[in-house]
Structure 1
Amino acid sequence: MQAILVTERLAFTPITRGDIDRLTDLDSDPEVMRFIDRHPTPRKAMAAQVEAIIAEYARTPGFGQWIARSREAEEFLGWFALRRTAEPGHATLGYRLRRVAWGLGLASEGGRALVDYGFREHDLDRITADTMAVNERSRRVMTAVGMSYLRTYHEEFVDPLPGTEQGEVEYEITRTAWLLRRTPSR
């Protein structure tokens, strides 16, 4: 399948029905899901999510969720997402990687590529991302892609994960901040 975005080490391709088992396996790893959900995503639920993702491609061209593969071996590493919100000029960044891809800078590399893509190709005003406050790894990725801490907020959960009491954090990068990062200093 043709990659929609390529970095030094990653290739992003549209999600297809053929990815359901890989995505289900990803969401079945308790460490991957540690800050997301207490339970793995059942295959049937994943199949429904994949159908929604495919439909999203048609509704919001250039936005959505993509499979991330290594450029060299074409190995499935996880997914990245850049999704429009109801707010004009705003999108959210998301990512989920297999443990084999952790600690290699791949989340930062893919996140930076999507931030650049969002501002360059879609003229966005701002991109945000959020995670649990206790998820230090994800917070480091958000900082590495150029985002700054925006706020802490609290949500109600029926079965809260450990650390929920510390809240969720939102990070943001604006077009202005992105442009300043790209401008060489004199």
Structure 2
Amino acid sequence: MDVYLETERLTLRRFAETDVDLLTALDSDPEVMRFLTGQPTPRKEIENVVLPEILKVYDDHPELGTFAAEQKVDGAFIGWFGMQPTSEVTTVGVGYRLNRTAWGKGYATEGTRALIDKAFAELGMERVVADTMAVNHRSRAVMRRSGLRFARLYHEDFDDPLPGTEFGEVEYAVDRRTWEAGRRA
């Protein structure tokens, strides 16, 4: 197992070509996909597009990517966390997607905090960002609990907008100085 990082309760590891079933099961839950695409991701798309793109990021950006999240206690797959490159070399984007059975247990906050800490402490980043639909109140709460702060509201045009798109997208962020001040407090 190629471990990326560990938290108190989670192990984050690189995905492998053999993880198609895990990703397919995760993306097949309409509630998990509600604020993303609004529908399940077809297995063929995961096999031919999603997983190859995940694996390509490891090659292009060895310290970044999307990582399978497993519970330490039993090794159960609960979803993924990601730390992605952005157009700014010293800024990364963080995100997560968890199985519904993992919701409400603090995993999203725990994993996101660990990614933020790694971005600043190990990778030398200057800024960490995350975004979601403005109406996705659960994810917004995770962002706040993780130390990210509201940065902006923006609107995008979508060919097939999801319900709530009219309220916009939100970006949350934290910079190195703010993160460091929080660690000293």
Partner residue, 1:51: 52
Q: Which runs of 5+ in 1 are unaligned?
A: none
AA matched with 2:126 = D
- How do 1:12-23 and structure 2 match up within 5 A? 12-23=12-23
Aligned to 1:178: 179
Structural mapping, 1:118-129, within 5 Å: 118-129=119-130
Alignment of 1:1-20 (within 5 A): 1-20=1-20
Using the TM superposition, give the Cα deviation of residue 28 of structure 1 relative to its aligned residue in structure 2, in angstroms.
0.8
Corresponding residue of 1:135: 136
TM-score w.r.t. length of structure 2: 0.97
The ranges of structure 1 where at least 4 consecutive aligned residues each deviate by more than 2 angstroms after the TM superposition are: none
Gaps of 5+ in 2: none
Deviation at 1:120, TM superposition (A): 0.8
SS in 2 for 1:122: coil
Aligned counterpart, 2:27: 27
Give, in angstroms, the shift of residue 19 of structure 1: 1.0
After TM superposition, give the deviation of residue 160 of structure 1 in Å.
1.1
- 1:103-122 superposed matches below 5 A: 103-122=104-123
What amino acid is the match of 2:5? L
Does residue 158 of structure 1 match 2:149? no
State the 1:2 CA deviation: 3.5
Query: How far apart are the structure 1 equivalents of 2:141 and 2:101?
Result: 18
CA–CA distance in 2 between the matches of 1:2 and 1:71?
A: 14
**Structure 2 counterpart SS, 1:44:** helix
- 1:38 offset after TM fit, Å? 2.0
Q: How many pairs align?
A: 184
CA deviations 1:94-141 (Å, max 9, x no partner) are 100000100001000000000000111111010000000000000001
Q: Which letter maps to 2:77?
A: F
How far apart in 2 are the matches of 1:38 and 1:133?
15
Alignment partners' CA distance in 2, 1:99 and 1:123: 33
Aligned-CA RMSD value: 0.8
